[in-house]
Structures are given as structure tokens and as C-alpha cells.
Amino acid sequence: MDRPPIARDITRDAVIVVPGIMGSALRETNGDRRPLWGLQGVGPLVSAWRGRSEGLKPLHLDDDERSGRYGRVEPAGLLRFPAWAPFLHGLEPYDQLVKTVRDTVADEAAVLEFAYDWRLPVEVNGALLAEAAQRHLAAWRGSAAGRAHPGEREARLVFVAHSMGGLVTRAAFARAAELVTETRCVVTLGTPFLGSVKAAVILGGNRSDPLPALPRRRMQALAATLPGVHDLLPDYRCVDVGGDVLRLTPSDVAGLGGDKELTAQAQEFQRRMRAPGAPALPGHRAVVGVAQPTAQSLRLDSGVVYEQYVSFERDGEGELARDPATGIPLRRDRAGDGTVYRDAATLPATVAETWLPLQHGALAKDGVALAHVRAVLTERDRDRGPALGAGGLGLDLPDCVDAGTPWLARLTPAPGEELDSHAGIACSVHDAGTDRRIGTGRLGWYDGNVAASVTLPAPGLYRIRITTEGTPPLTQLVLALDPTDAS
């Protein structure tokens, strides 16, 4: 007897993938359309950050762009190759996320990869996304595959957005409120809805960081011109002044190396996003990284930013909770994904939160996170999707190291937990481009903490992977530099 056919578990909705900051390749629009960001290979990366060439200067916003006259630079697709930038722990490509989405739709025409110029204001890119989303949905509904939706309802939109992409998506709904009724759900992966202390660290150049000075300075100089980076500044009270906690001001940001005008514009935009009546993200599911060492607040001293890995408690009325005896604000380490503090990655109207012990970049690449995306895409209209667990290890790595010199990949337990053994934990080293395993890290106890001693054999971009039983692997990119290169 023949077995009945088994239908693919797919969605007939239209899906839009929105990447994070530096997650779209960029190129010039004039002449030979020279690529500016997203090139393949370690050579262009090292040249951009340490070479004697003009480096990142073509990515700086010029006076015309500051005045709103855009068009000198255009997006050239989602990031397809691993990349690296100071402070950001490496940038993973979006190929696996896109493949997961394409494997889950009725036809590849249902998928829109929305690349955008991440240098520009989030609000500008949100307006472009709103227009692109409406065109995409109309085209999909007009296709044969898009018309064959079970339950006879019309196909709707699903947004899958990583990092800054969630802010761009939110701005799209603010620009075109009619998108709300046309959208089934929005999945955000590590989106800093309340901003990230990391943005202030980048604008300040983090002079206390062991990163080589030239990459830090080039990243700081680039970021100081970019509205997109200023849009990522913390939108909550995060400045520790001892007896109180204050918001960052435009003057604070200017003092540490940012742009006062861009900060004021970003804060006004954030205020409008918080205002009563601002559109919510329909069916919002937030995937939030946890258990990773993450800057949650900061201290300013003579124009220098000092990261603090603690947040501040609130009382029942939303004010600072204070110690009854001393009046000092209460602090707690809430951790996050290494870039976005845990409590900054959701919104009050979020339908469901999923906590995964992953680094920021891996939230758009790890198999468990992708399985969650697929489950949301294929859920029936009445479902809420599966719940996934929390807990696990944190990973603390340097951004870049010298090739041939040993360094430590430190493992940290989730806040409130202890790591009393490294049994069952493994550390492997992979080529970032091919993911070929090329070595291992030697695990042991170093200064009372579990860490892996790692030596990268040659200059290049590598992926460090930590595996343990019962949790998804932790990965992070590390750039190895030539220690003999004086430049």
C-alpha cells in the first residue's frame, strides 16, 4: 500500500529579512561602483583597519549626506562573508538565516532580503523598508503561490530582523501604520530597542581597551560621522554618577568623541518611538541573548567611557531602587549577548521572549536560533510558537590578537550560577570563511576561572567555538594580526 505524501511544513506568507549594522555590503554608485564594505578575504579587512590606504574614509558621511542628499553610496546585498570591526566581536554573514527562510516559504519569490545603507539614520532606512515591504507584499499576493494560502486568508508579512534591523523595522511601522494590519508577526534577534552601551564605547574609542590603536581610531572616526551609530546610543538611565544614574546627554556624547547634533536628532527620534500611540510591532517575538558578559551601564571621566557590567534596579514605581541603609542605587548583573544588554532587547508589548545563551552575532546564525525562526514562520495563526530555554555559559574574547601568541578564551557562568568544572566543555578553532576546524583550545583553570588557551597560527579571521552538553554552541569571530606589521 502506497504511503500518502507528506507535505512540506512551510509558510505562504511573505518574509522580509532585515540585517543589523554593518550587515549589508555597500558600494559607490559612481564610476566602477567600487565596493566599500563586505569584501571577501582577510586582506581587505586588514587593509581597511590597519593599512596605509584611505581605509574607511569613503564610508564617512560627507556634508551632502549630512544634509539629507543621499545617493553616493548604495547597498549591494546582505553580508555574505565573515567580517570584522573593532568592538563588535566580528560580523557573521546572513547566508544561513536566509537559507532557513528560503527553505520555509512556498516559493523563493516570497523572500525579500532588505539590504540598506546602515550609515544613515534608522528613520531614513525605516521609510525605505516601509515602501519595499508594501511592494513586496503586493507582488507576492499577485503570484500563484502567494494566492494559495490555507484558510483562504490573504498572505501577510513576516519580518525577521537582526540587531539594528529591528529598529529599522520599528521605524517602518511608524512611517506606514497601515503595515500593522498587513503583518502577521515580527521576529527580532538581539535588537537594542533601548540602545547599547557599546555605541558609546565605540564613539569614545575606548582608550582603555587592549585593541591596537589604529583600528580603534578608525572605527571611532567613522562612527562619529554616522547617524546610524548615534541611533544605537542607550535610551535609558545608564550613566553612573555615584549616588544617582543619569541619561546620556548630547554634550556627554560630544565630550567623548561623538557628534552633538546627531545625538540630539537620535534622542528626538527615540522619544517619538516611545510616545503614546506609536505603532507596536505586531505579533512581536524577541530572541534575546543571555549569559554573555555585557556592558549595561557606564561611567564618564574626562571624556573617557568606562564600561560597567551591571544594571540598576527599579522599584515598583519605575524609579531607582536604593539600598535602605545607604541610599546607594542597587546594582545587578543582568548580562546579555555581549553587545545588547538583556533588558534592552524587548518592548513592553512583546508577545513572547526567547532567551538563548548566545553571542550577538550568533543570534542570526546559530542552529537553535534558526530553528526558532523556522518554528515562528510555520506556526498556525492561533499558535504562539515554541518556548526555548535560558541559562548556559558566557564567552568573553578579545576582538583581535597577535598571531602566534597564546591568549585566553574565558568562560563565564550565567549570573547567579557557578562553573565548578570544565568537564564536557570543548573549545575548537575554525577558519571563519570555510568553518574548517584547524585547532583546539586547551581548557583549564586560570586565575580561578575556566578558560581555554588559544594560539592562532597565522594572520586571518577565525571562529572560536565552545561546545558543551545541553546548550547550543557559543561562537565568536576573532581577527589575528601579524605582530611584525609595524603599520
- At residue 209, the pLDDT reads 59
CA–CA distance, 213 with 265 (Å, rounded to integer) = 29
The per-type count for the chain, helices as H runs and strands as E runs, is 13, 24
Running DSSP on this structure, what letter comes out for residue 384? -
Residues in contact with 108: Cβ distance below 8 Å, sequence separation at least 6, in sequence order: 102
Residue 220 backbone phi and psi in degrees, to 5 = -65, -45
| Residue 416 pLDDT > 70 | no
Calculate ∠ Cα 330-335-337, nearest 5°: 155
- The predicted model gives 11-38 an average pLDDT of 94
Q: Residue 470 pLDDT more than 90? A: no
pLDDT at 305: 93
Average of per-residue pLDDT across 298-303 = 91
Interval 326-382: pLDDT, tens: 889 999 999 999 999 999 999 988 999 999 999 999 999 999 999 999 999 999 765
Q: How far apart are the first and last CA of the chain?
A: 72
Closest CA to 148 of 110, 175, 174: 110
Query: Rounded distance, CA 479 to CA 252, Å?
Result: 31
Does 2.60.120.330 match the CATH number of domain 393-481? no
Query: Which region among 42-51, 123-132, 319-328 has the lowest average model confidence (pLDDT)?
Result: 42-51
pLDDT tens profile 158-179: 999 999 999 999 999 999 999 9
CB of 24 within 8 A of CB of 114? no
Q: Is the dihedral of CA 50, 52, 53, 57 positive or negative?
A: positive
CATH code 2.60.40.10 region(s) in the chain: 393-481
Most confident segment among 33-47, 82-96, 462-476:
82-96
Backbone torsions φ then ψ of 194, nearest 5 degrees: -105, 15
> pLDDT tens-digit profile of 388-400?
444 568 889 998 9
Helix 95-102 to helix 367-378 angle (10° resolution) is: 30
- Residue 384 in this model has a pLDDT that exceeds 60: no
According to CATH, where is 3.40.50 located in the chain? 9-391
The per-residue pLDDT for range 198-232, each reduced to its tens digit, is: 999 999 986 655 667 888 889 999 999 999 999 99
Q: Tens digits of per-residue pLDDT, 232-271?
A: 999 999 999 988 999 999 999 999 999 999 999 999 999 9
Instruction: Please report the pLDDT score of residue 383 as a whole number.
Output: 46
Q: Which residues pair with 111 in a beta bridge?
A: 15
The percentage of the chain sitting over the pLDDT mark of 90, rounded to a whole number, equals: 71
pLDDT of residue 124: 98
User: What burial class does residue 115 get, using C-beta atoms within 10 Å of its C-beta: 0-12 exposed, 13-18 middle, 19+ buried?
Assistant: buried
Q: What is the pLDDT of residue 5?
A: 74
Q: Which residues pair with 256 in a beta bridge?
A: none
- Into which CATH architecture does domain 9-391 fall? 3-Layer(aba) Sandwich (3.40)
| Mean pLDDT on 141-163 | 87
**Mean pLDDT rounded to a whole number for the chain:** 90
Task: Say which range, 125-134, 137-146, 260-269, 384-393, has the weakest mean pLDDT.
Answer: 384-393
- Of 428, 485, 432, 487, nearest in space to 463 by CA: 432
Query: Residue 154 pLDDT more than 60?
Result: yes
pTM of the complete model: 0.89
- In the block, cell 494559495 appears at 148
pLDDT band at 152 (very low <50, low <70, confident <90, very high): low
What's the pLDDT at 387?
44
Residue 386's pLDDT is what?
43
Sheet with 400-402: strands ordered across:
400-402, 471-481, 460-468, 426-431, 437-440
